[in-house]
Structure 1
Amino acid sequence: MARFHQLRVAAVDRLTDDSVALTFEVPESLREEFRHAPGQHLALRRPADDGEIRRTYSICSPAPGPEGPRTLRVGVRLVEGGSFSTYALKEIAVGDTLEIMTPAGRFILEPAPGLYAAAVVGGSGITPVLSIAATLLAREPHARFCLIRSDRTAASTMFLDEVADLKDRYPDRFQLVTVLSREEQQAGLDSGRLDQERLTTLLPALLPVDEVAGWYLCGPFGLVQEAERTLRALGVRRARIHEEIFHVDDGAAPARPAPALAHSTVTAQLDGRSGTWPVDDGESLLETVLRNRPDAPYACKGGVCGTCRAFLVSGEVRMDRNFALEPEETDAGYVLACQSHPATETVELDFDR
Structure 2
Amino acid sequence: MFHPLRVSAIERITDDAVAVTLAVPPELRETFRHRPGQHLNVRYGVGGEEIRRSYSICAPATEAPAEPSLRVGIRMVDGGAFSTYALKELAVGDLVEAMAPMGRFVLEPRPGYFAAIVGGSGITPVLSIAATLLARESTARFCLIRSDRTAASTMFLDEVADLKDRYPGRFQLVTALSREEQAAGLPSGRLDRERLTGLLPSLLSVPDVDGWFLCGPFGLIREAEGALLTLGADRSRIHQEIFHVADEGAGSPPATRTTAPAESRLTATLDGRSGSWPVQDGESLLDTVLRSRADAPYACKGGVCGTCRAFLVSGEVRMDRNYALEPEETGAGFVLACQSHPVTAEVEIDFDR
Q: Sort the TM-score into its range (normalised by shorter chain).
A: over 0.9
Alpha-carbon displacement from aligned partner over 1:133-183 (angstroms, at most 9, x marks no partner): 000000000000000000000000000000000000000000000000000
SS of the equivalent of 1:281 reads coil
Partner of 2:44: 46
After superposition, residues 77-96 of structure 1 pair within 5 angstroms as 77-96=75-94
The answer to whether the aligner puts 1:144 opposite 2:141 as a matched pair is yes
Shift of 1:249: 1.9
CA distance in 1, matches of 2:14, 2:125: 18
User: Could you tell which deviates more after superposition, 226-235 or 253-262?
Assistant: 253-262
Gaps of 5+ in 1: none
The answer to whether the aligner puts 1:75 opposite 2:84 as a matched pair is no
Shift of 1:341: 0.3
How many residues are aligned here? 350
TM-score in terms of structure 1 length: 0.97
Which amino acid is the alignment partner of residue 168 of structure 1? D
Which amino acid is the alignment partner of residue 271 of structure 1? D
CA distance in 1, matches of 2:202, 2:251: 35
CA distance in 2, matches of 1:64, 1:254: 35
Partner of 1:329: 329
After superposition, residues 126-145 of structure 1 pair within 5 angstroms as 126-145=123-142
CA distance in 1, matches of 2:70, 2:140: 24
CA distance in 2, matches of 1:81, 1:348: 36
Q: Match for 1:184 among 176, 181, 184?
A: 181
After superposition, residues 1-353 of structure 1 pair within 5 angstroms as 3-49=1-47, 51-67=49-65, 69-113=67-111, 115-251=112-248, 253=250, 256=254, 259=258, 260-353=260-353
Determine if contact 1:31/1:67 at 8 Å carries over to the other structure. Answer: no
CA distance in 2, matches of 1:148, 1:205: 12
Which amino acid is the alignment partner of residue 87 of structure 2? L
Determine if contact 1:45/1:100 at 8 Å carries over to the other structure. Answer: yes
RMSD: 1.2
SS of the equivalent of 2:152 reads helix
Shift of 1:254: 7.0
SS of the equivalent of 2:3 reads strand
Gaps of 5+ in 2: none
Determine if contact 2:113/2:209 at 8 Å carries over to the other structure. Answer: yes
Which amino acid is the alignment partner of residue 282 of structure 2? G
CA distance in 1, matches of 2:66, 2:103: 18
User: Could you tell which deviates more after superposition, 43-52 or 280-289?
Assistant: 43-52
User: Could you tell which deviates more after superposition, 282-291 or 70-79?
Assistant: 70-79
CA distance in 2, matches of 1:204, 1:254: 26
Determine if contact 2:207/2:234 at 8 Å carries over to the other structure. Answer: no
CA distance in 2, matches of 1:50, 1:26: 27
